Amino acid sequence: MNRVQVATKSKVYDVCIKAGLRHLIGDAVKKVTEPVSSVLVITDTDVAPLYLDDVVLSFKNEYPVYTEVIQSGEASKSFSVYEQVMTKALESSLDRKSLIIALGGGVVGDLAGFVAATYMRGIRFIQVPTTLLAHDSSVGGKVAINHPLGKNMVGSFHQPESVLYDTEMLYSLPVKEWRSGFAEVMKHGFIRDLSFLNWLQEIKVIEEMPIEQLNTLLEKSISIKAEIVTVDEKESGIRAHLNFGHTLGHAIESD
């Protein structure tokens, strides 16, 4: 297993990278965040048919496990979907010992993390990213929803208990999603590590990369972000470097 430690002032946690890790989520929870009274798995309509059952079964009926499936896409980072998921949490009687699992890409991670940050003034959550792009958003604790006047304008800093990255799941992604995520990996090389950037430029077909090489790529890219987040958890200084390309990208998205 490839592993990266994220050591912020508010929390120290591991990013675990391994093929097939979705089948071991239940065991991982015992190691990082006991005791747990119940679990709410939040995912979307693209991921649920592929991987939701695997994650739910990993808990082996040891806790009540509830699920909420949102529509895939950026539009779900909204007040209405936030309220929908909050209602599910309340109807499921989640308490302060409950745990939220964010199973999906950046939209699910941001939304589920914000629900965790605000439900009963904050409960624990675990990121289970399912896209290459989410290797960035799942690490560092920035969680948010969008407002009609701005992207990610309603949010919080709420670090996960752990990030559990099953790289096997990435091979179900379309080529467009691979390339989108690879651009984010290259961003880390541009802002922090020239030798890593040079290595990335030698990769010809990212979606055909052997899984061992993919695990190494993610470990290195996430390590760069972890170093920056450790120094500046709440973006008062150097963490702003991680927004390289994002400001323009958000402007294009909103046009």
- Residue 250: per-residue pLDDT: 54
pLDDT tens for each residue of the chain, 255 residues long = 999 999 999 999 999 999 999 999 999 999 888 799 999 999 999 999 999 999 999 999 999 999 999 999 999 999 999 999 999 999 999 999 999 999 999 999 999 999 999 999 999 999 999 999 999 999 999 999 999 999 999 999 999 999 999 999 999 999 999 999 999 999 999 988 999 999 999 998 999 999 999 999 999 999 999 999 999 888 888 877 787 766 666 565 565
| b (16+ CB within 10 A) / e for 7-23 | ebeeeebbbbbbbebbe
Count of other CB atoms within 10 angstroms of residue 83: 11
CA distance 48 to 55: 10
Count of other CB atoms within 10 angstroms of residue 5: 11
Map out the domains of the chain as residue ranges.
2-254
- Residue 92: per-residue pLDDT: 98
CA distance 106 to 98: 22
- Burial (CB count within 10 angstroms: exposed 0-12, middle 13-18, buried 19+), residue 47: buried
Domain 2-254 grouped into CATH 3.10.20.30: no
